[in-house]
A = this chain, B = another copy of it.
Amino acid sequence: MHHHELASLGQQLRVDAVRAADAAGSGHPTSSMSAADIGAVLLAHHLRFDFDHPEHPGNDRLVLSKGHASPLLYAMYKAAGAVDDDELLTFRELGSRLEGHPTPRLPWVDVATGSLGQGLPVGVGMALAGKRLDDVPYHVYVLSGDSEMAEGSVWEAVEHAAYNHLDNLTLVVDVNRLGQRGPTRHEHDLAAYERRLHAFGWHTVEVDGHDVEALDRAFAEARSTIRQPTAILAATRKGRGVAAVEDLEGFHGKPLKDADAAIAELGGPRHLRVDVQKPPEATAARRTVTNAGGDEGEAPQTELPRFDVGDAVATRTAYGHALEALGSARADVVALDAEVGDSTRTEFFAKAHPDRYFECYIAEQQLVAAAVGLQTRGYVPYASTFAAFLSRAYDFVRMAAVSRAGINLVGSHAGVAIGQDGPSQMGLEDLAMFRSVHGSTVLYPCDANQTARLVATMADLKGVRYLRTSRSDMPVLYGPDETFPVGGSKVLRSHGDDDKATVVAAGVTLHEALKAADLLEEHGIPVRVVDLYSVKPVDVDTLSDAAAATGCLLTVEDHHPEGGLGDAVAEAFSDGRPAPRMARLAVRDMPASATPEEQLRKAGIDAEAIVAAVQLLVERGIAP
Contacts and interface: CB of A to CB of B under 8 A. Distances in A.
- Residue among A363, A564, A583 facing the most chain B CB atoms (10 A cut-off): A363
Contacts of A536: 562
Given A101-B421, A438-B560, A361 B147 contact: yes
A433 interface: yes
A278 interface: no
Interface string A552-581: 100000011111101110110111111111
Contact of A361 (B115, B150, B163): B150
Contacts of A154: 152
A179 interface: yes
- Residue among A574, A595, A622 facing the most chain B CB atoms (10 A cut-off): A574
Given A180-B339, A584-B574, A398 B429 contact: yes
A362 to B, nearest CB: 5
- Residue among A98, A152, A156 facing the most chain B CB atoms (10 A cut-off): A152
Interface stretch (A8-16, A42-50, A88-96): A88-96
Contacts of A421: 26, 100-101, 114
A184 B200 CA distance: 15
A593 B595 CA distance: 51
Interface in A21-57: 24, 26-27
Interface of A: 24, 26-27, 67, 92-96, 98-101, 103, 105, 112-117, 147-148, 150-156, 159, 163, 179-181, 184-185, 195-196, 198-200, 339-343, 347, 361-366, 388-389, 391-392, 394-395, 398-399, 401-402, 404, 419-425, 428-429, 432-433, 435-439, 536, 552, 559-564, 566-568, 570-571, 573-584, 589-590, 592-595, 598, 602, 616-617, 620-623
Given A404-B590, A552-B576, 6 more contacts: A148-B362, A150-B363, A151-B152, A152-B154, A435-B562, A436-B562
24 contacts: A24-B420, A92-B422, A101-B424, A101-B425, A105-B592, A114-B423, A114-B424, A116-B362, A150-B339, A151-B362, A152-B152, A152-B363, A180-B343, A196-B200, A432-B433, A432-B562, A433-B433, A435-B562, A562-B571, A563-B567, A566-B574, A576-B581, A576-B620, A576-B623
